[in-house]
Structure 1
């Protein structure tokens, strides 16, 4: 039987330090890779969970948003460069690489709250993150960048409509599958959703990239030609 004092001591036990040496040699490469980030976040993001730093929560939140934004910008720039070098369409880099990278924190958050018994919160996080990405994730960048580009941005609908239909189809499959099971999530749902995502990956790599069913390479070639012609016209003036 655990007494009240022991329960309180266990609750107040601090999380292990990220600077502690790993227990096994296999963990050292990842630990060394993450060590600079551990140091940076420790210095710049106050731990408002510690005694005496509770009032720093706004600073912690602001710095967390700053680092998420900075790292996301670096990830987007790196993905664009890698895609250019490997001749991978921007659509593929966006839907597979960037989407997966930016959704990992959401997935981990959903797993964490689901393990704690908050299934509704996990589902709301998965659905709400898409609403946030579409309305704010697209609306804010367009609002900021469009004034410097003549007030509009040309978007190719050749890939836009299929993406919209796929998103609508995924949401329909999700809601129908949950409704048919009396709005209860079971392990079979997980297998089904992972299978659907695997099919989407195959469709993106084989159909969109390798077979180029939407003729994205033609659009890219035309865009390069327009840019080259504009550069030549400017140089000859």
Structure 2
């Protein structure tokens, strides 16, 4: 009897006895299980690839550190021979000493050859914009999809890394190679550029006033205030210890956790503090993506006449899923054609070495795209810092001033363009969040990670010396600008308009003027002078 019952049970559960609906449910469960297993496998593969890339980058940094440490004797001989009347503690050796020998002499550069270095600097800005927009950011999007991250977390981590990659690599080279304050100056300069100039520019280009949503603005600005305060405390004594770097990285991890719970926090904040009249929490859906992508590609804006919202959504998804235009197709418009011709060598170089994971043919190659993009960003940033250092040495401008102005502005131009395009479409919240949110990554990761690697991994229990005391005052001034900006927005009833744009532009000009005067020792001896001497003697000592 027992055997009969077992046989009957088996026959009842066989596919021939089960109803089609139950068969579909069973097939769905098996498929879902396979998908879940494949998803976990993909997630671990992506995480392992990222781990290997990070450790590989660390190994390269350590190798470069040892390579440049071999030249310490040369730099010491240079300082002692060429500056006998200037104690080494009272001056800083030129950062140009840590880079390859320039093909031009100081005299030739002062008589016009420095123009070539300026052109090379501008070309590196273009190269960084191309590699980040066309290869690095798409690979990070694929990684975020592979790890199945929430949009808020992905935006605070991988997307922030994509937009801030030039600043991060500039900081790395400043800590490990040039060993000066050019990285800190770039981070501070980029922060104030994003906060004041980009927000002000968005206010100037909007057609009508946009009322900002309170929660994203206060969330990003509050954490940005904490980041700037932590930076000012770290720079106060002129030395950065390993535990200060750990605090910066820990604050960023806290920021990621905050973004993870952003939906719940936003809902609770909205219940307690309703948004101002005229504002609402906007969902950046596919229509916004379509408008932004069309604007960025230079397509003529046309009204989409569709019978329903579903049709718009369908068309939006199809448009977004289409492959990008070929980089070798000639664009329309004189300025775009000139820019395309100038960037054609870069386009050929990158197209031949980096897989474009936006295309169906290479969409599974995004780990290779990520690795090659990181490599090229490192190369372009190294050349950029090298050229800017040569320019500053030629004209007698400190490296920190070059970082605060030239490098900071050049590396932030892509962010400015994207924020302006978004603000023109009425998405003021997205524009401001993009400008302010990237600053959190710049300060906490762009400075915290290189400082931690230097003080806790490469040289245990060492410190990173900050040569310029003016950067402390610049950080404190930056802290005050955030408070002034929030106060101004409150007086303006949280509206993004031309009046706010003019005020932000004036604040940016005031900050850059004060920071430059600090670095030029107008208000006191904050920045030690460069050790006097000729670059020719340095070349002879190397030989």
- TM-score interval, normalised by the smaller of the two chains: 0.7 to 0.9
Summarize deviations over 1:73-121 as a string: whole Å, max 9, x none.
2212221121111110112111001111222222223234434554323
1:88 and 1:209 in contact (8 A); partners too: no
2:398 and 2:520 in contact (8 A); partners too: no
Where do residues 49-60 of structure 1 align in structure 2 (5 Å cutoff)?
A: 49-60=358-369
List runs of 5+ in structure 2 lacking aligned partners.
1-304, 533-537, 539-543
Tell me the equivalent position of 1:72.
381
Tell me the equivalent position of 1:197.
508
For the residues of structure 2 that align with 1:210 and 1:164, how far apart are their CA atoms? 16
For the residues of structure 2 that align with 1:84 and 1:131, how far apart are their CA atoms? 31
For the residues of structure 2 that align with 1:215 and 1:108, how far apart are their CA atoms? 38
Say which of 388, 392, 395 aligns to 1:83: 392
Q: CA deviation at 1:149?
A: 9.2
Tell me the equivalent position of 1:152.
463
Summarize deviations over 1:130-169 as a string: whole Å, max 9, x none.
2111111112222333444971132246302211122112
Q: CA deviation at 1:29?
A: 4.8
1:158 and 1:214 in contact (8 A); partners too: no
Tell me the equivalent position of 1:182.
493
Change (3 A) 1:118 1:76: same
For the residues of structure 1 that align with 2:504 and 2:340, how far apart are their CA atoms? 32
1:173 lines up with 2:489 in the alignment = no
Change (3 A) 1:90 1:173: same
Change (3 A) 1:18 1:165: same
Where do residues 77-226 of structure 1 align in structure 2 (5 Å cutoff)?
A: 77-146=386-455, 147-148=458-459, 151-156=462-467, 158-205=469-516, 207-208=517-518, 212-215=522-525, 219-221=528-530, 224=531
Q: CA deviation at 1:13?
A: 6.4
For the residues of structure 2 that align with 1:152 and 1:115, how far apart are their CA atoms? 45
Change (3 A) 1:194 1:68: farther
2:470 and 2:515 in contact (8 A); partners too: no
| Number of aligned residue pairs | 221
Of structures 1 and 2, the larger Rg is shown by 2
Q: CA deviation at 1:171?
A: 0.8
TM-score norm. by structure 2 comes to: 0.36
List runs of 5+ in structure 1 lacking aligned partners.
226-230, 232-237
Tell me the equivalent position of 2:169.
none
2:357 and 2:364 in contact (8 A); partners too: yes
Q: Which moved more, 1:57-66 or 1:84-93?
A: 57-66
For the residues of structure 2 that align with 1:121 and 1:65, how far apart are their CA atoms? 26
For the residues of structure 2 that align with 1:185 and 1:69, how far apart are their CA atoms? 36
For the residues of structure 2 that align with 1:149 and 1:83, how far apart are their CA atoms? 32
Change (3 A) 1:59 1:123: farther
TM-score norm. by structure 1 comes to: 0.74
Q: Which has the higher contact order (CA 8 A, sep 6+)?
A: 2
